[in-house]
Amino acid sequence: MLHALAARERELVEFARDLIAIPSPNPPGDERELAERARGEMARLGFSAIRMVAMEPTRPNVVGEVVGKRTGQILTLNGHIDTKPTGDISQWATGPYDPVVRDGRLHGLGSADMKGAVAAMVYAGAALAEVGPPQGTLRVVLTADEENGSRFGARFLAGRPDFAADAVVVGEATGMQSPWAYIAVASRGIACFRVSVRGTQMHSSLSDQVPSVNASVKLSQVLARMDSEFRPRYPSNSRVPGGPTVNLGVTLSGGVFYGIYPGHAEFGIDVRTVPGMTHPELQADLAGFLEVLSREDPELDVAVEPVPELAWFQPSHIDPGHPLVAAAQSAARDVLGRDVPLGTMPAFTDGTHWHLAGSACIPAFGPGTLLVAHRPNEYVTVSEVVEAARIYALTAMRYLGAADHT
């Protein structure tokens, strides 16, 4: 199997470059061209039961299988095929859709998050197709819409009976300062909110003549107080050291235009939640904090509400003693020549959707680093993509080949 992968390393890298070259930013969200490219590669490499599954035509998911014994375990390798938007193009040293390989690095939007991993999963499946899995089924599921709530992707697929799996590996990047920093046995969730302030919209020339409230100024005061004082409750959990992260001002807007005194302003919050936190308790913490500010300042008219589609995605975890974790540890040790520790993914991943559907799920284990994701000049090293294909193939072989999954 490893020999088959070694013979296709150049093809693997070229496939990853092709994926990067095809835009799939979300929003706006349209994965059709990239999904078709992945479907064609799966067909060329010997996958079976290849199909496109979509809630809406512009948001397809791609599925292919490598089947051994139908009565065996089902393992899913999952990666998403959408990316964040490009952001400021002028900040990119090379074009976001120009998959340049330079100094061992493959550059481009989505290279680390997570088209490098997607390419590696497809080629890992191809290697198993060539030699045949010992038993069970390997399913490679490439999903849409992860970057905007997964409504059309993993959230749509995970609960369907035809996509039930005993175990899942999500290939999100787990490098930090160095690659392959950990195998995630837990991941944070995410909850998004919008804080809005009402003021007095009127002709701005009158602000010193009549009583008025500047919504933008009031909002800045709320933002500053929350930054210094707001801390949500959470249960202590050794798997997620440091607790939740509260990110204020991830969106920010206020006022209408020059000449108009601002009557409305708002900012967005994303909270990276940890196991044991609940949405009602977090909402209560936010509302209670803002109520205190309102009592202190009678002019403050402030409210908080969840963001539709991003209101609450809970954390996920897998038993560190699960056979899938052992298979991934063993595969990583053989490919990398060292032990990879267990850890926690600081971000939310599609692992939550598979976890809630009843699958044992490693919520993140993949090439690349979060340090370069969601920013200009994203890259993944070529060697990590090659290593990922080997690790995924060995993980699948060992998990599916294990006699006892109790």
Per-residue pLDDT of 169-192, as tens digits, reads 999 999 999 999 999 999 999 999
pLDDT value of position 274: 86
Q: For residue 240, what pLDDT is reported?
A: 67
Q: Are residues 17 and 163 in the same domain?
A: yes
C-alpha distances (whole Å) from 98 to each of 17, 18, 20, 111, 289 are 8, 9, 7, 11, 46
Note whether 54 and 75 are same-domain residues. yes
Q: What is the pLDDT of residues 388-402, one digit of tens each?
A: 999 999 999 999 986
Q: Is the model's pLDDT at 405 over the cut of 50? A: no
Residues 153 and 214 in one domain: no
Q: Do 43 and 164 sit in the same domain of this protein?
A: yes
C-alpha R_g of the chain:
23
Res. 209: pLDDT tops 60: yes
Q: What is the model's pLDDT at position 322?
A: 97
Domain boundary among 280, 306, 332: 306
- Number of helices (H) and strands (E) in the chain: give both, helices first: 10, 18
Residue 397 lies in a domain: yes
Residues 122 and 180 in one domain: yes
Verify that 143 and 93 share a domain, yes or no: yes
218 falls within a domain: yes
Range 82-87 average pLDDT: 96
Give tens-digit pLDDT for 233-255.
998 877 666 789 999 999 999 99
Give residue 220's Cα distance to chain centre: 30
In whole angstroms, give the CA distance from residue 60 to residue 157. Answer: 11
Average pLDDT over residues 337-347: 95
At 404 the pLDDT is 44
**159 and 223 housed in the same domain:** no
* Model confidence pLDDT, tens digit, residues 277-312: 999 999 999 999 999 999 999 999 999 999 998 899
Percent of the chain with pLDDT over 90: 90
Last residue of a domain, one of 306, 339, 359: 306
Per-residue burial over 348-362, b if 16 or more Cβ lie within 10 Å, else e, is bbbbbbbbebebbbb
- Are 380 and 13 in contact, with CB atoms under 8 Å apart? no
CATH code for the domain in which residue 173 is found: 3.40.630.10
User: Which tokens in the block code for residue 6?
Assistant: 């070694």
For residue 406, being part of any structural domain is answered with no
Q: Looking at residue 199, which CATH number applies to its domain?
A: 3.30.70.360
What is each CA distance from 87 to 27, 83, 375, 377, in whole angstroms?
Answer: 11, 11, 8, 11
Q: Say yes or no: 147 and 271 in one domain.
A: no
In a domain, 17, yes or no: yes
Percent of the chain's residues with pLDDT above 70: 98
Q: Are residues 157 and 300 in the same domain?
A: no
What residue numbers bound the domain in which 183 lies? 2-188+315-401
> How large is the average pLDDT for residues 41-50?
96
- For the chain, what is the mean pLDDT? 95
Domain total for the chain? 2
> Per residue in 108-154, pLDDT tens?
999 999 999 999 999 999 999 999 877 899 999 999 999 998 999 99
Alpha-carbon 179 to chain mean position: 17
pLDDT at 266: 98
**pLDDT beyond 70 at 406:** no
Amino acid identity, position 219: L
Tell me: pLDDT of 163 over 80: yes
Domain boundary among 279, 306, 333: 306
Q: Tell me if 257 sits within 8 A of 187, measured CB to CB.
A: no
Pair 8, 115 in one domain: yes
- Is 256 in the same domain as 375? no
Give a yes or no: residue 134 inside a domain. Answer: yes
Return left, alpha or beta for 295; rule: phi > 0 is left, psi -120 to 50 is alpha, else beta: alpha
Residues 81 and 204 in one domain: no
- C-beta of residue 360 within 8 angstroms of C-beta of residue 167: yes
How is 215-279 classified by DSSP, letter by letter? HHHHHHHHHHHHHHH--------TTSTT--EEEEEEEEEE--STTEE--EEEEEEEEEE-TT--H
